[in-house]
Chain A
């Protein structure tokens, strides 16, 4: 989105960036983020949720880029055109008209589609796929919906989208399921319903006698504990973070405001995953804007962006762990209050 900006404002911002001692409109350095407010568990009916705001002013200030994200699990049959073996992830971004008051509803749809594409392509990539989205092999699996809602946009929307998605996925709990099957009464006893583990080896149940392959035979499942929210989604460390480099000739800066975004020709989105303290991999890369870059420049930018992404990743992890603790404490307090 382009904010309305005058030529002299643009020139002022550009000159500030290129000066020997760069200082931004709100006194930040080139690589400083605005304060990020983050909260998980904001949507009680979701399996995981988070709210993120970049640059919210305290008290009467309002403002900031705010995104709400939530995950919701649905059961699907594994068959063509529907569920996939091992589950699947679908990511959808919705933009509130309040975030883009000047856009027509068609333009808003296009923008949503654009955000959805990059989020979905990145987060549903096989390298990030969690291992615990299957329920019954070849029969049932989880569909993990990640819904993001942009409530307001005050710049740097991509970083906010990825961060809220990561926080919501981190917060996601998958109900623990147990496959069950019907076993015809046998000589040793009349057990009707048995755990899969016990009966896996029984041959001939539900499959043709001609079929010699070992087929998993469970046809239904039950929730192992109705009251428990479930187990955290596996691989929560892997969910990526995005760092947007806003590029103006030789300088670049992070976490741009709307006016800053309107003053620069080019943005480079780099989405990183950190699997260990030493290794990282780029999950997505995208150039936005009319400007262009030379290959050596991109190489340099990528190299320099990695430490930023790592810092972001580390700080976010710390915050997410704090949130886990806070919510456990809150739940305990509430329990103590009741009893």
Chain B
């Protein structure tokens, strides 16, 4: 499909008014949902993805369990009204399975599954709205949901899509841009700058690949900041709430001095 809209105009602006390297607005919601152990909703512009994580828990199908690590199970559902054309995809749909497989292989080396032999970690990805960057949003939301579920991971995983229009690299593509440009999704672990996923379904000249790849890695670091701030503010809020309560229970604990208080609390624990 080719559109009449200019991907990048002479002024250096894209169809939605962004500059070449500009990312879309991000919102992150980490409040719990349903009975999930961890959940996160992330929006990149108009793309919105909700991920719910269950586990580690007793495996549903015992024959699939592994004696030395936890099984990661990813299921993706694209809601029928998430795109401009209604389309109901069954669980066996090829695109849905591809997305699930990509997310699973991204997180298998990152989640410390060896701590939980014979258990199962279920990751349910719901795509609420699609406007490009599904894999990117799915991975970022999964990272956040796993963290809120308290599942140990060696690092965040931050994903960004990059594309090339003519010779100019673009970041964080919308559906319109994805359809018209060769594009690649890159997921990095910010601490080590290691790449856990590169996914490309289109052809791209090898000379251009390096530029986009490098830019996407840098953008990953920016996303990491955003995600970290969200995680930290939630952690701070919950820890803060937990500290106010037990001051009634532990006589003699000084509320003013936090460190002293923390020590007391730990003595109480053991």
Chain A interfacial positions (CB closer than 8 Å to B):
43-46, 49, 59-64, 66, 68, 70-72, 74, 92, 94, 96-99, 101-102, 104-105, 145, 147, 149, 151-152, 154
Contacts and interface: CB of A to CB of B under 8 A. Distances in A.
Given A43-B81, A68-B79, A59 B35 contact: no
A308 to B, nearest CB: 26
Given A62-B34, A64-B34, A152-B35, A97 B81 contact: no
Contacts of B129: 43-45
Contact of B86 (A49, A59, A72): A72
Interface of B: 31-36, 39, 46, 50, 52, 54, 60, 75, 77, 79-84, 86, 88, 91, 122, 124, 126, 128-129, 238, 241
Which of A49, A63, A98, A152 is packed against the most chain B CB atoms within 10 Å? A98
B124 A74 contact: no
B77 A96 contact: yes
B79 to A, nearest CB: 6
A45 B129 CA distance: 8
Given A68-B128, A70-B80, A92-B88, 8 more contacts: A46-B81, A66-B33, A72-B80, A98-B124, A147-B80, A147-B88, A151-B50, A154-B35
Query: Can you list the 6 inter-chain pairs with the closest CB atoms, starting with the nearest?
Result: A152-B34, A62-B32, A70-B81, A72-B86, A98-B124, A98-B52
B22 to A, nearest CB: 19
B37 to A, nearest CB: 10
Given A97-B124, A101-B54, A62 B81 contact: no
A97 B53 CA distance: 11
Given A104-B60, A105-B91, A45 B34 contact: no
24 contacts: A44-B46, A45-B83, A45-B129, A62-B33, A62-B35, A62-B39, A66-B33, A71-B81, A72-B81, A92-B80, A92-B88, A94-B77, A94-B79, A97-B75, A98-B35, A98-B36, A98-B122, A98-B124, A99-B34, A145-B86, A147-B80, A147-B86, A147-B88, A154-B34
A280 B249 CA distance: 57
Which of A45, A72, A94 is packed against the most chain B CB atoms within 10 Å? A45
Contacts of B33: 62, 66, 151-152
A98 B34 contact: yes
A147 B50 CA distance: 18
Contacts of A149: 79, 126
Contacts of A71: 81
Which of A64, A71, A97, A102 is packed against the most chain B CB atoms within 10 Å? A97
A68 B33 CA distance: 13
Contacts of B80: 70, 72, 92, 94, 145, 147
Which of B35, B50, B128 is packed against the most chain A CB atoms within 10 Å? B35
Contacts of B46: 44
A60 B91 contact: no
A290 to B, nearest CB: 26
A60 B32 contact: yes
Given A72-B81, A152-B35, A96 B88 contact: no
B31 A62 contact: yes
A257 B205 CA distance: 58
Contacts of A97: 75, 122, 124
Nearest to A109: B91
A147 B36 contact: no
B54 A98 contact: yes
B143 to A, nearest CB: 18
A47 B83 CA distance: 12
Nearest to A103: B60
A60 B31 contact: yes
Which of A44, A71, A151 is packed against the most chain B CB atoms within 10 Å? A151
A115 to B, nearest CB: 15
Contact of A49 (B36, B81, B83, B238): B81
Nearest to B83: A45
Nearest to A258: B35
Which of B83, B84, B122, B128 is packed against the most chain A CB atoms within 10 Å? B128
B79 A147 contact: yes
A62 B36 contact: yes
A97 B77 CA distance: 10
Contacts of B126: 96, 98, 149, 151
Nearest to A102: B60
B246 to A, nearest CB: 17
B31 A43 contact: no
A66 B34 CA distance: 8
A49 B129 CA distance: 13
Nearest to A59: B31
